[in-house]
Structure 1
Amino acid sequence: MKKILIYTAGALLIAGSYGCKKFLNQVPDDRLTFDQMYQKKATVDQALANVYSTLPDQNQDRSASASGNIGPWTAASDEADYTLPNFTENVNSGAWDATSGQVNYHWQSYYRGIQAASSFMANVTKCTDCNIGGIDIVNRYYNEARALRAIYYYYLVRQYGPVVLLGNDPIASDAPLAEISKPRNSMDECIDYIVSELEAASQRLPATPQANEDYGHITASVADAYKIKALLTAARPLFNGNTDYANLKNQDGKQLINQTYNVAKWTRLATAAKAFLNNPNYSGYALYTVTATPSGLPNTAFNRAFIATRDVFLNGWNSEVIFGRGGDVTFYQYSLAPNHSGASGGDKGGSFLSPSQQLVDAFFTANGLPIESDPTYSANGTSSYQAPDPNDQGVSRNISNMYVNREPRFYADITYSGRKWINPSSNIVTSFEFNGNAGKSAIANNDYTKTGYTSRKHLTVAGWTSGRTIFTVIRLAEIYLDYIEALQESNPSDPDILIYLNRIRTRAGIPVYGNGGLPVPTNMRDAIRRERRVELAFELDRYFYTREWKIAETTDTQIRGLNITQNAPGFFTPVVTENRVFQKKHYLWPIPSGEIQKVPVIVQNTGW
């Protein structure tokens, strides 16, 4: 097992990236002294890899745990459910509290990462061979660690709300408790610190990867993208004038979440996002598109959009990817592949990740309209339809009308009954009906879909055993959506709203709003939110924005799916597959009770 060097504070908050390039695979030699660790570039690289190791690993999404520092974000939102038992079941049933292990390890892990970053920054200047060929590697590594420290604070506040800012110096392992016992900072103080640190690091980092070995490192564009994410969290209703937290105060009466709505927070976000989009050093970023389709698939605009929205996640470090992480994707992809009876290898998976009917219904029609607004849409009956799969052309399959004439992103993201399996070498047509080849009838364990669907997004075309280069963490489409949300809340007449919203829709292969296309929506806020839900599905976004928008009390009370205990036609009747518990206190995670016991000046979140 790899040994990971962790610098601990031993008391407050510090209980006792991987980026696809080789330096992030290294680990420190535990026979070196602390000073020796920082004398040579080879071991400095290993120490930096340790700082990156706290970044959450979406490849471990199906088994939320300390391994990979990943939370229950996908299946604890209304996007999906996991058939495979994990901590999401505790979250969805309300069976968790401040003593839960998951609550504790996220808190501790991010603070370990913060402490590791501070220790690295304090010692990297000791390196004697780090400046090679005139490149100031010490300065670059220092600012990568500085940005990572701010990023870990961002992940903390997104999950727990206001936290304790430890300062810029590493905490000595033998520091007395009284010296490091600190109360929580306010949310505004946390965001200002995160933003200022990311800005300072950004100014001293290369704008984008300059060489192959730079991919997976924090660059200026990555730091700026995280700054936008932090400002977005701060501007949304959960932390912007939320009177539900009127009593969330430190023991001295200090208010931790501001009680007055401030539109300037949206303006600040819009300014940061626009600066990113207008930065000439970032001009190489563009929405991923294709000019031609694979052999056998007609080269139509619809089919090009399907390939683009599918392959943006499969085609490595493409023009849209701002930041990504590598790692073993097989466990994640196994969750996506249906458990096809009699199949083998990459064609027979676990059917674990089960998209909700709510998500299926959220995708637009091919006409670019919500299903409830398109008179051509019907959820009843069946039709013969040709899906845009390169391995299934010339065959019209009889499928539910729910899946006929939907937008390209729907076909890129969802596997439904009657769909040709993704592997071009396979002849399987997936059926999730009770007696179907991936139905519950013949499956004795949990390897079946709960909702009658599996996710297709992020899955390589050869099946789950085939690898991928990276898991996309931040891409340009997200920056577009952040920008237009900020404009809608601060300056709704700004023409950039339609410009950038329509860029996403154009790439998605659906009609634009205005300009001779569809009428401009009267409720633009809703239109932006609908677009975000579809565009960023299964990208660890939905859990947080339903909470930051304060709508989770409505969205997160149940999961709907198809009736997997029946064959057609009863199978295609949507039913409630899971009732869930969501209370106001669940908008934030509780501070771990162990931390409060050690440091009583830390106050608990409201309701916990």
Structure 2
Amino acid sequence: MKTYIQILFILLALGFATSCNEALELEYDGRTSLDELFKTRNGVRGYLNSCYGARIMPDINRATLTDESQSSDMLFQGSHAALWYVDAFNASNYSNVDGQPWGSIYQAIRRCNIFLNRIEGVTANELASLEEELSSWRAQAHTLRALYYLQLMKRYGSVPLITEPYEINHDFSKDLRAPVSAVVKQILDDCDAAMSEPVSTLGFSWTVRTGENFIMNRAVVQAIRSQAILYAASPLYADGTYTWQDAAEITGNALSNLLVNDYKLWTEEPENNSAQNLYELYFITPHDEQRARDKETIYPGNRVNIWGNHGMPSTPGQTTAGACPTQELVDCYEMQATGMLPISGYSDQQHLQPIINTASGYDPNNPYEGRDPRFYATIYFNGAVRDLGPSGGLARDDHYPLSISLAGGSHNIDATELEEEGAFRLETTGGDPNIPTTPLTQDINATTGSILLKFKYKSNNNITNAQFFFAAPNPAGGESTPENVVLNKATEWTDFELDLTPYRNNSWWKWGKPGHYLRFDVGADAGNIVEIKDIEINVRVESVPADPCESFVGGVDGISNTNRRATFTGYYLRKYNNWKSGRDNDADGEIRMFRLAEMYLNFAEAAYQATGNPETAINIGNGITMSARDAVNAIRRRVGMPDIPAGLSKDEFEKRYRNERRVELAYEGHRYFDVRRWKIMEQSERYVTGMRITKNDDGSFNYERIGFERESYKEKMYFYPIPQSEIDKMFTHTGMDWQNPGWN
């Protein structure tokens, strides 16, 4: 029987795929058979693109389901956060920050299975393709299937293992949930299959080619291997099949493979007040797919909007405080001078009575001084500097070059290019002389601030009646300055500047889009000779006042439990937030799915668990030896933190390691899964706190911890429920209840 696939299904999948791969070039005919689809290069590649559609990217809001954050949306009883905190979900209405991904992931796995089945035996010649390309496609499909099973396992635990396309007469009564160890074996097998494909420029390599952003590559395979085996050996998932020794070997091998293939921790320091430190700079810098600058990112994620969705109410355009950092997270940031935790624990269950570590150098009356640099890059606290620019500086200073157009359109002007000087000579030959510039190539996006026209010129005469016309090609039209622009006689290069801001808007049209241009009316008469160069539009936005965050009661960003735009905990999220971001300049960063720092930490955890000694060096391959302590200290040294001291016991090191992982990977989606795989959710999730700060008349502050109690710590929350509709179907087919514990 011929198998058919709706072409619409592929086109929907290509909504993401065209951003990272070629579009499927098939005529729409309603139905296209897979037999026909897999006879052409575009058909095969288009179907592979459709396999990418279920990747689950990290989400800031997952932090609100952990002890990293308390959501300001809890104010609304029907919000996701409010329902989560009171344990109001069941198998029928359950939703996480990624929805209920069971169905979408299995649909993507089905596509991967079909692709791998169909591509078997297809030759490059048949597709008018190259063997390296075909090899890469096979590897990508294996990598995607491995990623999908990893994402399923993390959320649901034991899941059905499907690696072949279902036949039309498939017997569902024999389907079973495979144990986690079997799922992990399949993940590792798929990773091995991907890595078995040869490395080549056009094939499955360690990076991606230009225009192939988000494509799977060999580095992603290493990240999947590392995370999968770490989870398999962790208490929640371990069944004895995979040991910590296995985890140490695989995570170490993955790390060494990345290191010898030019993956490195980010070490670029900020310049020109772009960020407070290198850690902050990394998270506001978009990844570059060719890795010329960013060699830490293994697989990118989505850009985030912090200033608007997790920002401060004093920021124009902000809508909600969103993921408000907890006091527990703040307590995890060590003192930089001593490398010690300021708080060693709590004397009460609710975390309202901290045990201060006096040896650390922590001052409870000045609690935010001298902390780990990552603290300042992650959290806005009371008194935190918001504007990093100098007083009176610019939040935006962008330059858009233009040139004189010699391609026609001039009137009564003889124009020639003076190549040696990079200039143009304009000689007027009659009345109303004018000439256009080349068009803008990008949107100047200048809804606020000033717009300046700048260039350098020489002139043989005083011209007092020049004019500039701001033109749009379609529809024709625009707006012009009055005929009173002055260019004084100048025999040397002279700077010219004209404020275009008053002409930015009128009732029917806005200038500054791609294709828009300027027309230069060079006086009104013949006989003028003007040389002109370095033409540009300069958009300048003054920086916001350098006022600090005021999260104290009554401050402009003051704590509140009745306003979702205000923090509930006394803190706001800073990680990913570019201080220049705002309504008119969204420049916030992106969450990475995988990065090298996680690979160091994965190995560190597996190594100390396997050896019992954090200082035992292990040969991780490629001529590299490393201990658990070495791996953690590599992360700490990068940000200027002291080494974790030698001589710690396994238990002492575990406490320091878990804290390091929490700090380094904050708001990257790991904490949710870490507290589950370690089986500490009951300790971490039940109580979280914030800091209520009041300001005294003398300018000093009082600090009072406030608490929030949740019901989301219960044992059933270790795993997502399988959708009830799927449970009902499989009970009909198999007679077995597939539901995860506690969700019936």
Give the alignment's TM-score, normalised by structure 1. 0.78
Give runs of aligned pairs for residues 248-263 of structure 1, distance below 5 A. Answer: 258=239
Counterparts of 2:382 and 2:716, CA distance in 1: 38
Q: 1:159 deviation in Å? A: 1.0
Q: Sort the Cα spacing of 1:27 and 1:132 in 2 relative to 1 into closer, same or farther, 3 A.
A: closer
CA contact (8 A) 1:6 1:116 kept: no
**In the alignment, does 2:575 pair up with 1:457?**
yes
**2-side partners of 1:232 and 1:512: how far apart?**
24
- 1:229-268 equivalences under 5 Å are 229-240=227-238, 258=239, 265-268=243-246
1:217 aligned to which of 207, 215, 235:
215
| Residues 432, 492 of structure 1: alpha-carbon distance in 2 compared, 3 angstrom cutoff | same
C-alpha separation in 2, matches of 1:570 and 1:604:
51
Larger deviation: 469-478 or 372-381? Answer: 372-381
Alignment match of 2:382 (pick from 404, 413, 417): 417
Paired residues of 1:3 and 1:27 also in contact (CA < 8 A): no
Alignment match, 2:670: 541
Please give the per-residue CA displacement for 1:225-270, whole angstroms capped at 9, x wherever unaligned: 1111111111011122xxxxxxxxxxxxxxxxx3xx57x5111111
1:40-96 Cα shifts (integer Å, max 9, x gaps): 44454443332212111335x44xxxxxxxxxx311111112213543433332111
Spell out, residue by residue over 1:271-323, the C-alpha distance to the aligned partner (whole angstroms, 9 max, x if none): 11221232278430111102x542369xxxxx9xx522112223323111111
* 1:482 is the counterpart of 2:602: yes
Going from structure 1 to structure 2, the CA distance change for 1:479 and 1:132 (only over 3 Å counts) comes to: farther
The whole-number CA distance in structure 1 between the counterparts of 2:652 and 2:48 is 47
Question: Please, which of 544, 566, 578 is the counterpart of residue 426 of structure 1?
Answer: 544
Give the root-mean-square deviation of aligned CA atoms.
Answer: 3.3
Aligned residue in 2 for 1:198: 191
Compared with structure 1, are the counterparts of its residues 207 and 272 closer, same or farther at alpha carbon in structure 2 (3 Å cutoff)? farther
The aligned residue for residue 322 of structure 1 is: 298
Distance 1:323 1:599, change over 3 A: same
Residue 491 of structure 1: how far off its partner (Å) = 0.7
Aligned residue number for residue 54 of structure 1: 54
Structure 1 CA distance for aligned equivalents of residues 25 and 553 of structure 2: 48
Amino acid at match of 2:558: G
CA contact (8 A) 1:81 1:355 kept: yes
Q: Could you tell me how far apart the structure 1 residues matched to 2:556 and 2:128 are?
A: 58
| Amino acid corresponding to residue 297 of structure 2 in structure 1 | V
TM-score where L is the length of structure 2? 0.65
1:121, CA displacement in angstroms? 2.6
C-alpha separation in 2, matches of 1:50 and 1:29: 17
Aligned-partner SS, 1:84 = helix
Contact 1:202–1:219 (CA<8 Å) still a contact in 2? no
Deviation at 1:207, TM superposition (A): 3.8
Q: Is the Cα contact below 8 Å between 2:40 and 2:127 reproduced in 1?
A: no
User: 1-side partners of 2:577 and 2:18: how far apart?
Assistant: 18
Decide whether aligned partners of structure 1 residues 175 and 364 sit closer, same or farther in structure 2, where only a CA change above 3 A counts.
farther
- Can you list the C-alpha shifts for 1:403-461, whole angstroms capped at 9, x where unaligned? 111111001100112112156422132212232112256x9752221111111112223
SS state at 2:175 partner: coil
**Separation in 2, partners of 1:452, 1:187:** 41
Letter of the structure 2 residue corresponding to residue 463 of structure 1: S
Native 8 Å contact 2:380 2:574 kept in 1: yes
Cα 1:4/1:572, change in 2 over 3 Å: farther
Distance 2:25 2:592 in 1: 24
Structure 2 residue matching 1:325: 3-state secondary structure: coil
1:131–1:414 CA distance, 2 compared to 1 (3 A): farther
Amino acid at match of 1:196: D
- Give the equivalent residue in structure 2 for 1:92: 85
Paired position in structure 1 for 2:707: 576
Q: Which residue of 2 aligns with 1:169?
A: 164
More displaced 10-residue stretch of structure 1: 548-557 or 119-128: 119-128
Q: Which amino acid aligns with 2:593?
A: V
Q: Which residue of 1 is the match for residue 411 of structure 2?
A: none
- Cα distance in 2 for residues equivalent to 1:323 and 1:129: 32
Deviation at 1:466? 2.0
Return 100-109 or 590-599, whichever deviates more: 100-109
Distance 1:446 1:138, change over 3 A: same
- Aligned equivalents of 1:78, 1:37: Cα separation in 2: 49
Superposition pairs for residues 109-508 of structure 1, below 5 Å? Answer: 109-124=104-119, 134=130, 136-166=132-162, 168-172=163-167, 174-175=168-169, 178-179=171-172, 181-204=174-197, 206-240=204-238, 258=239, 265-279=243-257, 282-290=260-268, 292-295=269-272, 307-315=277-285, 316-317=287-288, 318-326=294-302, 329-330=304-305, 333-340=307-314, 343-344=315-316, 348=318, 350-367=320-337, 368-372=339-343, 373=357, 375=359, 377-378=361-362, 380-381=364-365, 401-422=366-387, 424=389, 425-427=543-545, 428-439=547-558, 445-463=563-581, 465-467=585-587, 470-493=590-613, 494-495=616-617, 496-508=627-639
2: CA distance, partners of 1:469 / 1:170: 39
Partner SS state of residue 429, structure 1 = coil
Partner of 2:680: 551
2:330 partner amino acid: V
Contact 1:38 1:127 in 2 (8 A): no
Structure 1 residues 42, 448: CA separation in 2 closer, same or farther (over 3 Å shift)? farther
Q: Please say if residues 208 and 217 of structure 2, whose CA atoms lie closer than 8 Å, have aligned partners that are also in contact.
A: no
> Residue in 1 aligned with 2:738?
603
2: CA distance, partners of 1:325 / 1:20: 16
Distance change >3 Å, CA 94–CA 27, structure 1 → 2: farther
Q: Which has the larger radius of gyration?
A: 2
Which residue of 61, 70, 77 maps to 2:66? Answer: 77
Distance 1:284 1:95 in 2: 47
Cα separation, 2, equivalents of 1:285 and 1:224: 12
1:497-526 deviation per Cα after TM superposition (whole angstroms, max 9, x unaligned): 2211111110121111348xx988871111
TM-fit CA distance, 1:360: 0.6
1 or 2, which has the higher strand percentage? 2
The letter of the residue matching 2:251 is: A
Amino acid at match of 1:523: E
How far apart are 1:350 and its partner, in Å? 2.4
When residues 444 and 294 of structure 1 are mapped into structure 2, their CA distance, relative to the original with a 3 A threshold, is same
CA contact (8 A) 1:336 1:459 kept: no
Unaligned 5+ segments in structure 2 are 1-6, 289-293, 344-356, 390-542, 618-626
Q: Tell me the SS of whatever aligns to 2:10.
A: coil
Task: Provide closer, same or farther for how the CA distance between residues 182 and 520 of structure 1 changes in structure 2, counting only shifts above 3 A.
Answer: closer
- In the alignment, structure 1 segments of 5+ residues that lack a partner are 9-16, 63-72, 241-257, 298-302, 382-400
Q: 1:581 to 1:128 in 2, by over 3 A?
A: closer
Q: Distance in 1 between matches of 2:169 and 2:342?
A: 60
Partner amino acid, structure 2, of 1:81: Q
Q: What is the alpha-carbon distance in structure 2 between the residues aligned to residue 24 and residue 294 of structure 1?
A: 37
What is the SS of the residue equivalent to 1:212?
coil
In 1, the alpha carbon distance for the partners of 2:387 and 2:68 equals 22
Kindly indicate whether the alpha-carbon contact (under 8 Å) linking 2:381 and 2:570 is maintained by their aligned counterparts in 1.
yes
User: For each residue in 1:567-594, what CA deviation from the matched residue of structure 2 results, as whole angstroms up to 9, or x when unmatched?
Assistant: 5677631110343442222222222222
User: Secondary structure in 2 aligned to 1:137?
Assistant: helix
Q: Which moved more, 1:504-513 or 1:417-426?
A: 417-426
1:504 is paired with a residue whose SS is helix
Matched position secondary structure for 2:577: coil
Residue 29 (structure 1) shift: 6.9
